[in-house]
Structure formats: C-alpha cells, structure tokens
Structure 1
Amino acid sequence: MRLSELETGQKGMIVKVLGHGGFRRRIIEMGFIKGKTVEVILNAPLKDPVKYKIMGYEVSLRRQEAAMIEVVSEEEARTQNNEDTFLKPITQNTPVPEETMRRLARGKRRTINVALVGNPNCGKTSLFNVASGGHEHVGNYSGVTVDAKEGHFDFQGYHFRLVDLPGTYSLSAYSPEELYVRKHIIEETPDVIINVVDAGNLERNLYLTTQLIDMNVRMVIALNMYDALEHSGNKLNIHGLSELLGVPIVPTVSRTGRGVDNLFHVIIGLYEGADFMGQKKEIKNEVLREFREWHDQCVQGHKYEGPKEEDPFAHQSFIRHIHINHGPEIEASIDAVKKEICKNDNIRHEYSTRFLAIKLLENDKDIESRVVAPLPNGKDILAVRDKEAERLKRAVNEDSEQAITDAKYAFISGALKETYTETNTNTEAFTRVVDSIVTHRIWGFPIFFIFLYIMFEATFVLGAYPQAWIEWLVELIGTGVEHFMSPGPLKDLVIDGIIGGVGGVIVFLPNILLLYLFISFMEDSGYMARAAFIMDKIMHKMGLHGKSFIPLIMGFGCNVPAIMASRIIESRKARLVTMLINPLMSCSARLPIYLVLIGAFFPSKASLVLLSIYAIGILLAVLMARVFTRFIVKGDDSPFVMELPPYRMPTAKVVARHTWDKGKQYLKKMGGIIMIASIIIWFLGYYPNHEAYATTAEQQENSYIGRLGKAIEPAIEPLGFDWKMGIGILSGVGAKELVVSTLSVLYTNEDDVENINLSERIPITPLAAYGYMLFVLIYFPCIATIAAIRQESGSWKWAAFAALYTTALAWIVSFAVYQIGSLF
C-alpha cells in the first residue's frame, strides 16, 4: 500500500520511494529511507498535509507526495504473519513487532519494476525475450510491438517485472506510441528504465536518450547489437560516453544473451541507491556495499555477485544527473518557463519541471491540455511560453521546437565526436547490394510477387504431406470411436460434431505454419520494410502511406494484430483507412476454406487460383482505399518517413518460435471456440425430431439450422450457394475457421456420400466454388477483428461500417462472378 493510505496513529515500514529523480532525492533526504518505520501523527484540518514521525523527528508531506511512497502497514504484516503456520499468531490488539514488518518489507523490496524503452528495431523485444524467457515476436522493421508486453524472471534473489513498451523515436506527442510510452513512464513510475540503444545507429537512438535524461528518471543504457559494432571495426569509448551522459552504459547482444547479466547487475545497483552516490561517480564494490549486507542476509542462497572483471563486457560506468545543454538562449527560455511552473509545488512529485518546460517550448499539445491547463496559473505558464518562443525565434532565427531538436543533436554529435571513431565505412555494403536488387524500379515488384507465389506454392506442396498424415490420424480416431461407442446422440456428437468439426480444420495446421514461416522470415530479415518502401508510391495513389503496407501484409497472417500494427502510421486518416481495408487481406483463418475448395475444383492450378484470391483482395483494398480517402475519411496526409534497417539473417530459433507460437494459437482455437461452435452447429442440425425422418438429408433440412439456412437461402441463391453453404457463412462471423468445421458437420451426414474428403462432398460448380471463396475473402470480418477496429479507431461507428461494407461488397462481387461467369 501507499503511505497516503495509512490512518492517524498507524505505522508502516517503507518499502521504496517512487517518482522521478528530483522528487525521490528530496523525499529521501528528508529521511524516508527504505526499511525505516514511519508513523502517522495527525492530519491537517482539511486532511492535507499530513504530519509523520520518522527517525525520531516529525515531518509533513502532502497526500499526493505520500502516495509515491510504498509501505507495509501493521495490518498487512499481521495478516501475512498469521497466514504463515510456522510463525506465532499476532492478535488484533497486540502491536506488530518491528522486525516482522521489516521482514515483509524486505520481501516486497525484492520486486524491481523495469520498463524497456527504445527506438523501433533496436532489439528491445529481443532483449525482453532473452531476459524474461518470453515469446514476443521480433521483426526487423519498425512498429512490431504495438502494445506493452509484460514478463517476469528472477535474478540474484530479485524478482524482475519487465515491461516491453512500444518502439518510439522520441517522447513527443506525434504518434500514439510516443504518448503511450510517456504516459507509462509518468503514471507507472518504473523503478529503473532500460534505454535500449542500437550500437550501429547511435546518433539517431541517443535522441530519445536525451529526452529521458530531461525526465530525470533512473536509467541504464543497454548498448544493444554490440557485436555488430565490434565486427565493423569502429571504436566506441563506452566509459567516456557514459561519463558525458551521466548514465551507466552496458553493452549487450540480445541475440546471444551476452552482457545481459551485467545489465541486471547494474540495475540492481541503481535500484538499491547507486544513483545517490553520484559524487563518487563510478559503480564500484564500495558503492554497492550499502545493500550487499542486506542482500546476503535476506536473500538466502544468493550471495550478491557483481560483474566479473575478466568479462570483456565488464566496465566502469558513471551515474550523475546532467542537464542537456541546449545553448544559452534556449536554456534561458527553459529557466523562465520552469520558474513559472515551479509555483505549483504539487506537480513536482509526478513530473520533472524542466521536462515540462522543454515540452511546452516544443509546443506539445498533450502536455498543454493534460498538465498545464488545469493548473491555477496555467494561462500564465502558457503566456510565458509564448513570449519565450517568440524571443527564441528572433534570437536563433527558427521556431523553438526546431531549435531544441537541433541543440539535442548538436549535444549528441559533440559527445560522439569525443568518444566514437569510425574506421570502417563499408559496413553497409551488403545492404546496399541487396537493396539495389530487391528495391529496383523494374525488378523490385516481380521479385516481391515471385516470393509470394513461392510462399503459396510451398503452402500447398510441402503442406500436403503432413496434411495427409493428420487426415489419416483423424480418420483413425473416427473409426475407433465408431467401433467402441454405442449408437445414440452422444456417439453422433463425438463423430459428427467434435471429430467432424474440429478434425476438418486441424488438418490444415501444417499449411498455416508454413504461411507464418514465410511471413516471419520476411519480417525478421528486413525485407518487409523494403516491401513497404517499393509500395509507397502505390500506397500514396490509394491515399495511404508506405507504412500502411506493413499492417496490410501482416493481415495475411491475422487481421487482429495487423489492425493493431496500424499504430505505426502517424496520420489518423491513413491509419483509419488502413484499418477499414485490412479485412480484405486474406488472413490465415480463411486458408483452410481455400484449400478445401481449390483441392476439389482446381487441383491442377492450385497455386495460381490461390494467388488470384489474394490478388483480388489486394485490388479491392486499393479500390476501397481510394473511395474512402476521397469521400468518407477526412484528414491530412503525413510524410513518408520510415527506417530501412540493415538486412539480418533470421536465426532458426526465432523464426521457429514465432511460427510455433502462431501454431499454438491455432490449436487453442481448435480446443476452444471451434469445438464449442461445432457442437452448437451439430446440435442445431441434429434436433428437433432426429428420428422422425427417413433420411439424414431430410432431417437436416427440417432441423433448426436447416430452417435458418432456408430463411437466408433466397439471398444467397443468386450467388450459386445452397442453404448449407449459407450456414457456413453465418458461422464464419465468429471465426473464419468455423466455415470449414461447419461444412464438415453439415455435409458429413449425407447418406449417399462415401468419400471421406469434405472437398468431394460439396455439390456446387467450380464457378460457384470460386464465388464462395471470394465471398469468404471479403465479407464480415470475424468478431475479434471488429473488436480490434473499435479499439483502435475509438468508435463503434467505424467497426459497424467495416462489417456492413464488407458484407455488401462480398455479395456484389460474388453475384457478378457467378452471374457473368454463367453466361460463358
């Protein structure tokens, strides 16, 4: 609990002090030190401030400041003690011994909250995975992590809670990621921030570092991909750069885990107070002596071990809070705005006032509306800001936002000039050679489409063998159940409902895995970013953005994360249109439907037919994007700015893990929504009066699901579909895999059918089959996709619009294909 929650007369033991550096330093200097007992003496008449007794003297704090101090109360200690059967119970009226409270506080202090912050494509999620053992996907292009991911692990007797924040280039209010990261740092107040920096792109990555320094947070820099810097032959004086920045720098190689232990040793040092030993500067054993004794006493079986000197990654780092020098003119303006902000003492516990002043001079609208406007002197602060911004414009001949950005890059350039030596200028030769081929104005597009064709061909050819094995296994299970179970509804449920429904979908697991294998390779290698690069002009003609291509390609895997990935697009207009057309990208859940129908009606031209389905989805997306940007969605375009990372050969482990993670999600669907839906569909097709009809076909037609199918049949009959295919379409609203399982259940019960393969039991023409595939491609996205559109757009209006327009478009396209095709 927090100190502000204690009542008058209650005691608590301090666990940790939260908040940014300046606030923490002031509170700790007042005596609020971890492991000390604090007692609430009295409240002011208006309940604020509150007088506390600590270390033998009395001190007052406002409640909002006390809320930043985590404590263990007597009641918590009593409850925890009484739950332990090996300890003597403490009655309600008996004071809790101080040692009991201290023991509980020590246990809670073993949890360290760490946030990972860094540019897109700096290896942040790789570091998260190697540290936490998590399985988050890592892609070699910006914007993979579209939400915060949390992981846990234990190290040196401490429990680490890691949060992988979205990749961002700065802490401005330009994109949702920037706002999200800034909000997390301020509101969640992590104990330590790991600023992940790409060792190969120091100048660009360190811009975010300078903004974190402005926030005055406890931070360590993970100099990631350090092996690439070593192999390049270029030299970096890590010790010197650490001294200039005032931040510990630890080289890491997240792909192999090299340096990660040292990183968390330094984090432990920061957490335990090494940042308050700034005068001594260097992190040495004597700096850590303050908590070494505590660690050895309280963490049984874990003697503290610092970085080993023989480790080439071991080094000395500096910890001291610095101010980035923006030059005399800008610094004068920062001081003027900061002086006006500092008239509000109640804001210091949450924000660095210097950070607020800089953000205001950068015209940050979010800071203006959320932080400054509610302050009593908010108008005065903005007036001072406007006055200083105008003065700066006259003094430096550019607006204040640009002047601050230039000053930060000048600081970074100066720091690197002192510490970085570039001896090899040919490190990017391989990337340039490959780019000259895959982004060629003539060969770039054919190479991309050839790669897609190979992907689809492999999905069919290579996937056919394991698919046949799974089909054999499903058939064997069905035969076994047929032999051992007694006739009756339960037997029919197991064979026709569960095995027929789930088995009809699970056979396509190998094809799904192969599709994700190719997509993962494109992402991890860096080729996906090139695909966005070569498609930008086409995207721009559609009224979209080159970055829109990444979520659209991701839609081939699953529309839900693809829609979430649209956050990487800065323009709201382009982001919204991308979300609306993303369902037209054929996700992997639709693939089993195509495989069934193509295998039955187009076996000799399987890959070309499948490619045509995907191509039609893309063409429709282009057409609808043009319509939406011109007539429906309004807004301004944003410039195309996107990082093209160097090519990296994906490791087999990462690609395999990503592919298998998607496979596990598919299997979970088999045992969850698809099994439940298959049972419901079987029930609706089995009842009422199952025994009252001469044939199964007649019984199904008069069942609940038959009546529903007959009701919608007039609407789909012009498309060449029967009522059973209509039920398949309805079931696909929940999840597209349900279409195959539904057809498996419905067509399994045909009396005159001897074929085991579902594709040979559907009585339609090839033209109707093609139209059915197009309908499934286009119509109502699954419920999860609709929910994702609502979440990302912030309105049910756009989610409902997506559901309605796709269904109407599906009917029109399928009608045109069937009716026009029938003429020939």
Structure 2
Amino acid sequence: MNQTIALVGNPNAGKTSLFNILTGTRQYVGNWAGVTVDKKEGWVKGSREWKMVDLPGIYSLSAQSLEEKIALSFILGEQPSALLNIIDASNLERNLFFTAQLLEMGLPMVVALNMMDVADTRGFRINKNRLEQELGVPVVPMVARRGEGKSSLLERMEKDIRPGPTSIRYSGEVEDGVEALLPFLREMKRPSSIHLRWLALMWLEGNESVSAMIQESVENRGLLEMERIRSGILEAPARIREARYAWVEAMMEGTVTREGADRSWSGRIDGWLLHPVLGLPIFFLFMYLIFQITFSWVGTVLSDGLDAWIAGPISGGLASALSAMDSPRWFMQLVTDGILAGMGAVLVFVPQIATLFLCLSFLEDSGYMARAAVLMDRFLRGIGLNGKAFIPLVLGFGCNVPAIMATRTLEDRKSRLLTALISPFMSCSARLSVYALFVAAFFSQWQAEIVFLLYISGILMAIGTAFVLNRFIRAEEDLFVMEIPPYRAPMLKSLLLHTWDKSKGFVRKAGTIIFGMSVLLWFLGHYSWQGEVRMEASFLASIGDFIAPLFAPMGFDSWQAGVSLLTGFLAKEVVVATMGVAYSAGDSVSTLATLLPSTFTFASALAFLFFVLLYTPCVSTVVVLKKETGSWGWMVFSVGYSFAVAWVVAWMVYQAAGWLL
C-alpha cells in the first residue's frame, strides 16, 4: 500500500531541493523565501514506495497566511502517513519552534538536518545524537542541494520513522484548559492520527483552520462551553508560545556549540549591497549589466548565429527535401513561408532569452534577490505594498502567470490583489522577442539601453498603478518580515537546469501555439473570398486594415502591425511570428528586420515597443488573474486599463520621439 509523506519546513530551508533529489523531479529552487506557493507531488522509491508532497514553507501552524492554511489544510484533510521535517541547521533555534508544533501533532516524523555546510561555515557544531535523543525522532544531517545524506535519509525513512514524544509542558492554567477540552474533542469526527492534545492547544491559540473543523463537528452546547474555557484563560496564545520557546532553548543547550568566528562573508558584502544610499544604484547597475550581456556581448551573437543556421542549412535542407519529394507548390510555401518563417522568427531569440534567465538565476541562487526585496521595501511601502511583493514581481520577468500565482505568498488580500494587478506590467520573456527584433532593426547602437528603458518603464508603470489603486483598496498595513538567506556560490548544474526549465516554456510555445498560428496565418495571408490572392488582398490584410486606424495616432497604422498586436493577445511571442508571415520575410529574422522600416519610423518603432510592453496581457495571464482575484470585475478592469494605458503612453512616446528624432 502506498503511503504519503508530507515535506514540511521553514521557508528557504531547502525543501524543494530535498524534494527534487528524493523524487527525481526538477521543481524550481531559489535562494529566497516563497519559492513554493502550492503543494507539489512526486514519488520516492526504495524498499517501499512513498508519495511525497512538498508543502509551502511556513514558520508555524498558526494558519494566518495563505501558505500556512494550504499546509495545515493538507495535513488535516489528507492525513499523511508521516512528516519529513527539514530544518536549516544554521538557524536551528528558529526552525525548532515549528518542529515543536509538528511533534505535538503525534504523526510519525523524521528530521532532515539540512545546510550542515552553512552551519559549519558559521562556526556551529551540532551534536546530532543528542538532538535525536531529545527530539525522540530520527535526525539525518544533510546538504540537500549537493545530494549529501540522501541514502541515510531514505534508510531512516524506511526503517525508523516514528512519532516523537509530546514533551512540552505548559502553565497549570493552560494544562487545565487542555484537559477540560478533551471530552468535547473525543466526540468529534477528526483525523484518527492527530493527537487530541494538539487540537486542544490549537483551539486555545485560536487557530482558524482547526477552529473551523471543530465547529463543524461539535454541537452548539459543546462549542459554547469550549469557547468559555478558551476565554477563561488569560493570554493563552502568548503563554503557549512562551512555553514552546522555552522548550526550544532547553533543546539548544548541550546540542549546539559555537566554535570560532563566523567565517561567512555575507555580512561584509551586505554592508555595500544593503547600503541605504548605494544599495539601489548597485541593484540597477546589476540589471543594466545583465542587459548588456544579453543584448550587446553574448545573447545577440548567439542569436545571430542561430538565425544564420535557420536561414541557411535548415531552410535550404528543408526546401531540398520537399522538392525531392515532389511536394506541391502550396505545401512548400506553407512550410517555408508559413511554419518556418513564423517559428524561426521566434526561436531565433531563444539564446537571448536563455542568457537573460541565466543571469537572473545567478542572482537568485546567490541570495542577492532576497536583499533586493529588502531594499525595495521602503520604496514599495509608499504604494501600499511591502518588500515581499518584490518576489512575484521579479518572477514576472520570466512569465506573468507564475508571478500572479506567487502572490499567494503575501499575507493580506490587499497586497495580493495589488500585486496581481500590476504584475502584467513586468516585462515577461515573451515580449523580449519583440524587443530584440525592433532594437536590432532600428536601434542597433543602443540595444541594451532601449531594452533597459523598457523594463524600467514597466516597473514605473506598475508602481504608478499601485499608487493609484492603493487609494481605493483599503486594508490594514501588514508587517514586512523576510528571512535573508546566506550568500551561496551558485552551482553550474543548478543554473543550467533553471535556465533550461525557464526557457523550455518559450520553446514549447513555438512547438504548439506558434506552430498552429503560423499555419493559420499563412492561410489567412494567401486566401480571400476570391480564393488564392496576393497577401495585400488576403483575409489577413483585411483584418489588419480594420484594426490599423486605432493605432494611427502612434504612427504604426499598417495592417501588419494591427494584425500582429491582435494575435499577440493569444501569446506575446506570436507578435513576431505574425510579422514574419505578414511581411513574407521567409525564414530569416535579419530579412524581417530590413523590411520593418518600410512601415515603421524610428519614432513609431519606439512607440510600438512601449505599446507591446503595456497593452493587454496574454489570454493565459488574464485567466490566471481571474482565478487568483476571484473577480470578473478586476479581470475586465485589468484588460481595459492596460490597453488604455498602453495607447496613451505609446502616443506620448511617438510625439516625444518625433520631436527629438
């Protein structure tokens, strides 16, 4: 019989790394809190087979934040067979508070004592045997990101996993309250493996999830008596917390010693990177260097090489193969001028996108992005958010869909709503292909600078939007608390895997959505009601001509621009694919770049870039926005507002650029 084990621990303790090495999967791992925003599942195989569920990182079972509610709801509702509690050995005292709560649940448990290398660097020496004896459950030292300790952990999970003793004793009044509650709890329907004592303590603490479960199972008369017991204990939650902290302090004595000075260099580096004056300029300097690497030094060179390869050997070989098979002319045109032109126009930018992801992954894995969130806290507070909102916003540089989903890590509804609404202004990787095409065609001397300007403009628009909406969405301001992880040297394998995982979605779209759109666009571009026609008289041109007047004030009123923006609502990558077909550019992006000046000027090209940056997000983002906000109204507002903002800003850019250029 398959059994379920829940992987639980504090944020940034290495849960996802451990989940990956045990299950053989490749979930995203980041060196900052909030990476896991939902539960993930995998299988662990040994002498027995476990179903492992990676729950969001939480600091306690108080169930105040959305992550805590997700984790606790799973434990109460799904009743896992056992718990795998991962602990950051370099922050043992803080992590053990959560361990105390888990032990009181009464479920079989094993402790993975992770980040032993970091603890050693900081001068901590942990007596593993003493800790295991005190906890009463197996303890396995590990360095999860390098896979060290995996075999020992699996062995203990298979042979020695067991419940720990409930050794915490509370004040007399709390203990009396627990005893008084037990008769009522014995009558309720509950998870059979959960200790009644733990449920009683959660009731006294006012835990929302446990209270809701009890209220569904206990009759009204019993609930009134239970409420009387809870209200009769003065400051019960504070007393319970104090007793647990005292238990943790006693556990630390004789278990952890400090030998020598902290040999880590995080503190010295933070003196500069978290400097109140220099911190933000250094952050923007890092971002500017990333764009230079992407568009001036590395990414562009790789993209040019891929473009030459697609336009040369691939195109020529494919044409020769089709000719040798005596394929009909229309089919050869469909493959070369439709499919290859559409997909090739997008795939050629994969090296630049991968370069950008590689650089961002380096900053994330090193621990710097968590510092950037702290730097941004003071700034974000002015618009009704806090530094924790910076995490989903940064994820938006990859894709707006996971960015909006990551708002679940924010504690209050106002922060989640505001961050979800402004996330689409973060310039996702799909837009990057449009930027790369246009800066190569019109701004070859300032490619990195123009793209950097676009990214900064998206951030500023998000900030401005949040500033305005903050005046209409009222809620109590929450306290910003975020763990600062230690700096770590990113592992090359990890960086490459992250880069591939992030780029894979872009490539997958080329093989699905863009492939289908390329076929459809080719037919629309070669046929009308009269049959096969020149592209200027086709369905595609008619659709573009109908839309184009809307964009005339911004200078890009060609039918090609109009139909490209329309298909871009499906996926922003399709903008470039549509242009490749609409301009009959064949399979070469360099050819497409030379054709764009026939319908764009420098001013209108810059306005087009700003419009693509800001206008209505793709359909996937819109769907997720509806799901996460739970409101059709906010979804419609986001679609209409972003289009209106894009139109106004693009018009202003066109006027200013026309005057300056």
Given the two structures, how large is their TM-score scaled by the length of structure 1? 0.76
Question: Residue 509 of structure 2 aligns to which amino acid in structure 1?
Answer: K
For these two proteins, the number of residue pairs brought into alignment is: 651
Aligned to 2:421: 580
State how far apart, in whole Å, the 1-side matches of 2:300 and 2:120 are.
45
Query: What SS does structure 2 have at the residue aligned with 1:424?
Result: coil
**Do the aligned partners of 2:108 and 2:164 also contact (CA within 8 Å) in 1?**
no
Provide, for residues 445-484 of structure 1, a one-character-per-residue CA deviation record: whole Å limited to 9, x for no partner: 1110110001001001201222122111211222333444
Aligned to 1:343: 187
State how far apart, in whole Å, the 2-side matches of 1:238 and 1:208 are.
18
Does 2:609 match 1:718? no
Q: Which of 725, 730, 734 pairs up with 2:566?
A: 730
Does 2:560 match 1:757? no
Query: What SS does structure 2 have at the residue aligned with 1:646?
Result: coil
How far off is 1:234 after superposition? 2.5
Question: Residue 353 of structure 2 aligns to which amino acid in structure 1?
Answer: I
How far off is 1:244 after superposition? 2.2
Aligned to 1:455: 290
* Residues 342-491 of structure 1 mapped to structure 2, 5 A cutoff: 342-344=186-188, 346-347=189-190, 349=192, 351-368=194-211, 370-378=212-220, 380-385=222-227, 387-393=228-234, 399-428=235-264, 430-460=265-295, 461-476=297-312, 477-483=314-320, 484-485=322-323, 486=327, 488-491=329-332
Aligned to 1:260: 150
Q: Which of 60, 67, 77 pairs up with 1:187?
A: 77
Does 2:643 match 1:797? no
Matched-pair identity in %: 39
Provide, for residues 113-165 of structure 1, a one-character-per-residue CA deviation record: whole Å limited to 9, x for no partner: 2221111100111111122221112111000011222222422x322322211
Question: Residue 336 of structure 2 aligns to which amino acid in structure 1?
Answer: I
How far off is 1:350 after superposition? 6.4
Aligned to 2:172: 328
Aligned to 1:118: 9
Provide, for residues 387-410 of structure 1, a one-character-per-residue CA deviation record: whole Å limited to 9, x for no partner: 3444332xxxxx222221121111
Decide whether aligned partners of structure 1 residues 258 and 549 sit closer, same or farther in structure 2, where only a CA change above 3 A counts: same
Aligned to 1:269: 159
State how far apart, in whole Å, the 2-side matches of 1:470 and 1:161 are.
42
Unaligned runs of 5+ in 1: 1-108, 276-318, 394-398, 694-698
Higher mean C-alpha displacement, 656-665 vs 729-738: 656-665
Does 2:590 match 1:590? no
**Do the aligned partners of 1:169 and 1:208 also contact (CA within 8 Å) in 2?**
yes
Does 2:606 match 1:770? yes
How far off is 1:347 after superposition? 2.7
Question: Residue 132 of structure 1 aligns to which amino acid in structure 2?
Answer: T
Aligned to 1:202: 92
Aligned to 1:669: 509
Question: Residue 365 of structure 2 aligns to which amino acid in structure 1?
Answer: D
State how far apart, in whole Å, the 2-side matches of 1:563 and 1:622 are.
16
Query: What SS does structure 1 have at the residue aligned with 2:140?
Result: strand
State how far apart, in whole Å, the 2-side matches of 1:373 and 1:801 are.
38
**Do the aligned partners of 1:192 and 1:267 also contact (CA within 8 Å) in 2?**
no
Provide, for residues 707-745 of structure 1, a one-character-per-residue CA deviation record: whole Å limited to 9, x for no partner: 211211221111211221111111111111110001111
Q: Which of 510, 513, 521 pairs up with 1:681?
A: 521
Does 2:543 match 1:708? yes
Decide whether aligned partners of structure 1 residues 573 and 320 sit closer, same or farther in structure 2, where only a CA change above 3 A counts: closer
Decide whether aligned partners of structure 1 residues 378 and 680 sit closer, same or farther in structure 2, where only a CA change above 3 A counts: farther
How far off is 1:748 after superposition? 1.4
How far off is 1:754 after superposition? 11
Higher relative contact order (CA 8 A, sep 6+): 2
Q: Which structure is higher in helix share?
A: 2
Provide, for residues 769-808 of structure 1, a one-character-per-residue CA deviation record: whole Å limited to 9, x for no partner: 1111111111111122112222222233322222221111
Query: What SS does structure 2 have at the residue aligned with 1:586?
Result: coil
**Do the aligned partners of 1:246 and 1:322 also contact (CA within 8 Å) in 2?**
no
Question: Residue 593 of structure 2 aligns to which amino acid in structure 1?
Answer: S
Decide whether aligned partners of structure 1 residues 692 and 150 sit closer, same or farther in structure 2, where only a CA change above 3 A counts: closer
Aligned to 2:412: 571
Aligned to 1:236: 126
How far off is 1:550 after superposition? 1.3
Aligned to 1:545: 386
Does 2:38 match 1:147? yes
Question: Residue 174 of structure 2 aligns to which amino acid in structure 1?
Answer: I
Whichever of the two has the greater Rg, that structure is 1
Query: What SS does structure 1 have at the residue aligned with 2:581?
Result: helix
Question: Residue 146 of structure 1 aligns to which amino acid in structure 2?
Answer: V
State how far apart, in whole Å, the 1-side matches of 2:185 and 2:237 are.
19
The Cα RMSD (Å) is 2.1
**Do the aligned partners of 2:72 and 2:209 also contact (CA within 8 Å) in 1?**
no
Question: Residue 418 of structure 2 aligns to which amino acid in structure 1?
Answer: V
Query: What SS does structure 1 have at the residue aligned with 2:176?
Result: helix
**Do the aligned partners of 1:117 and 1:194 also contact (CA within 8 Å) in 2?**
yes
State how far apart, in whole Å, the 2-side matches of 1:416 and 1:756 are.
65
Higher mean C-alpha displacement, 481-490 vs 579-588: 481-490
Aligned to 1:70: none
Provide, for residues 582-631 of structure 1, a one-character-per-residue CA deviation record: whole Å limited to 9, x for no partner: 00010111001001111111111111111111111111111100111112
State how far apart, in whole Å, the 2-side matches of 1:256 and 1:621 are.
38
**Do the aligned partners of 2:273 and 2:282 also contact (CA within 8 Å) in 1?**
yes
Aligned to 1:815: 651
State how far apart, in whole Å, the 2-side matches of 1:169 and 1:788 are.
27
State how far apart, in whole Å, the 2-side matches of 1:541 and 1:379 are.
48
Question: Residue 736 of structure 1 aligns to which amino acid in structure 2?
Answer: K
State how far apart, in whole Å, the 2-side matches of 1:174 and 1:588 are.
34
Decide whether aligned partners of structure 1 residues 241 and 822 sit closer, same or farther in structure 2, where only a CA change above 3 A counts: same
**Do the aligned partners of 1:223 and 1:251 also contact (CA within 8 Å) in 2?**
yes
Decide whether aligned partners of structure 1 residues 471 and 374 sit closer, same or farther in structure 2, where only a CA change above 3 A counts: same
How far off is 1:320 after superposition? 4.0
State how far apart, in whole Å, the 1-side matches of 2:186 and 2:231 are.
22
Decide whether aligned partners of structure 1 residues 379 and 211 sit closer, same or farther in structure 2, where only a CA change above 3 A counts: farther
Decide whether aligned partners of structure 1 residues 644 and 113 sit closer, same or farther in structure 2, where only a CA change above 3 A counts: same
Provide, for residues 65-86 of structure 1, a one-character-per-residue CA deviation record: whole Å limited to 9, x for no partner: xxxxxxxxxxxxxxxxxxxxxx
Query: What SS does structure 2 have at the residue aligned with 1:392?
Result: coil
How far off is 1:416 after superposition? 0.8
State how far apart, in whole Å, the 1-side matches of 2:209 and 2:6 are.
22
* Residues 495-644 of structure 1 mapped to structure 2, 5 A cutoff: 495-631=336-472, 633-644=473-484
State how far apart, in whole Å, the 1-side matches of 2:571 and 2:589 are.
26
Decide whether aligned partners of structure 1 residues 237 and 327 sit closer, same or farther in structure 2, where only a CA change above 3 A counts: farther
Decide whether aligned partners of structure 1 residues 423 and 333 sit closer, same or farther in structure 2, where only a CA change above 3 A counts: farther
State how far apart, in whole Å, the 1-side matches of 2:131 and 2:173 are.
26
Aligned to 1:88: none
Question: Residue 115 of structure 1 aligns to which amino acid in structure 2?
Answer: A
Q: Which of 169, 189, 204 pairs up with 2:59?
A: 169
